[in-house]
């Protein structure tokens, strides 16, 4: 957070000098950077949940999810996180928040439908390991502080597609108002490869491997997570609501990895910080 404030303030100061604003430009940049950092600390997890189009997991329709999470939290001495589901057939999950008392766990309906009890328990234990180790603090703040420009560009593109001319479900008057958002995405996409590299430094693949090991230490049953990862490897884990800015949060890559899964795959790969599923499965089998 300090690095973010210093970097933005310095950039604002230089810009102010070039434009002739001098000291006032530096002050404005510092105030804006500080405000964004404070907002990121308190609201980044809410941003992740809303961008992922998640809804609260009902205790009746998602009883197995609540039951497993409650049992794991008791066993690991963690407070129960807020639980959400995404209406997507792809099996995937993520954890977000700033600490165990302000954590949220998001799973897709595909994950709940495709995994059996021990496999689902393995995935949930993996995500709770991120919570216990405070990985979620770094990865969640990275969404807004590091990948903020990419998040804005992804949302701009999403809104542009939603309100594209010719859609019968959108009033014509909306097209002109939302169309400029598509133009906003172009300059922001230019910095996306750099943001992807910064995310690799801030997050990195080691966190996933450690969470795998910590998760099976909690369940004491490595085959559960191994079976889950094998099912993720066999099926597509691409989540429609996932963005490049939040890709590092998911347990498996949520973006397309080959041309058959959509355009922009090369750019998507710049945000893939996950080790290969084969590497993770091999490591777990040695336990």
Distance CA 232, CA 92 (A): 8
Q: In the chain, what is the straight-line distance between the N-terminal and C-terminal CA atoms, in Å?
A: 37
What pLDDT digit, counting tens, does each position of 159-212 carry? 555 544 444 444 434 444 444 545 544 555 555 555 555 666 666 778 899 999
Helix (H, G, I), strand (E, B) or coil at 55: strand
Assess if residue 187 is contained within a domain.
no
Q: Are 59 and 127 within one domain?
A: yes
Residue 63, class by beta-carbon neighbours within 10 Å (0-12 exposed, 13-18 middle, 19+ buried)?
exposed
Distance CA 34, CA 270 (A): 28
Q: Are 93 and 216 within one domain?
A: yes
How would residue 9 be classed by pLDDT, with cut points 50, 70 and 90?
Answer: confident
Q: Are 238 and 117 within one domain?
A: yes
Q: Are 114 and 211 within one domain?
A: yes
User: 209 with 229: CB under 8 angstroms?
Assistant: no
What pLDDT digit, counting tens, does each position of 76-126 carry? 999 999 999 999 999 999 999 999 999 999 999 999 999 999 999 999 999
- Tally the domains of the chain: 2
Q: Are 113 and 224 within one domain?
A: yes
Assess if residue 184 is contained within a domain.
no
What pLDDT digit, counting tens, does each position of 18-46 carry? 777 767 878 888 888 888 888 888 888 99
User: How many C-alpha atoms does 238 have within 13 Å on its Cβ side?
Assistant: 14
Catalytic residues: 127
Assess if residue 40 is contained within a domain.
yes
Q: Are 23 and 131 within one domain?
A: no
Assess if residue 225 is contained within a domain.
yes
Q: Are 208 and 99 within one domain?
A: yes
Q: Are 14 and 60 within one domain?
A: no
Assess if residue 159 is contained within a domain.
no
Domain that holds residue 41: 2-51
């Amino acid at each position: 957070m300090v690095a973010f404030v210093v970097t933005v303030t310095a950039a604002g100061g230089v810009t102010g000098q070039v434009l002739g604003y001098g000291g006032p430009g530096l002050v404005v940049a510092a105030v804006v950077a500080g405000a964004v950092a404070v907002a990121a600390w308190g609201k980044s997890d809410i941003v992740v949940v809303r961008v992922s189009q998640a809804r609260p997991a009902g205790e009746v329709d998602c009883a197995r999810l609540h039951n497993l999470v409650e049992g794991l939290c008791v066993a690991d001495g963690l407070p129960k996180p807020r639980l959400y589901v995404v209406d997507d057939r792809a099996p995937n999950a993520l954890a977000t928040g700033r600490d165990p008392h302000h954590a949220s766990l998001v799973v897709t309906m595909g994950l709940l439908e495709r995994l059996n009890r021990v496999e689902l328990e393995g995935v949930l234990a993996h995500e709770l390991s991120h919570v216990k180790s405070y990985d979620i603090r770094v990865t969640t703040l990275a969404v807004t502080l590091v990948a903020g420009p990419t998040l804005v560009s992804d949302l701009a593109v999403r809104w542009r597609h939603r309100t594209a001319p010719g859609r019968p479900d959108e009033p014509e008057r909306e097209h002109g108002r939302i169309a400029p958002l598509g133009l906003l995405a172009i300059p922001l996409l230019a910095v996306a490869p750099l943001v992807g590299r910064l995310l690799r430094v801030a997050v990195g693949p080691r966190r996933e491997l450690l969470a795998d090991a910590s998760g099976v230490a909690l369940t004491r049953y490595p085959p559960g997570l191994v079976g889950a990862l094998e099912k993720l490897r066999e099926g597509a884990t691409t989540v429609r609501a996932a963005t490049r800015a939040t890709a590092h949060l998911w347990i498996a890559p949520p973006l397309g990895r080959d041309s058959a899964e959509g355009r922009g795959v090369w750019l998507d790969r710049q945000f893939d910080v996950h080790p290969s599923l084969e590497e993770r499965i091999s490591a777990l089998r040695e336990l």
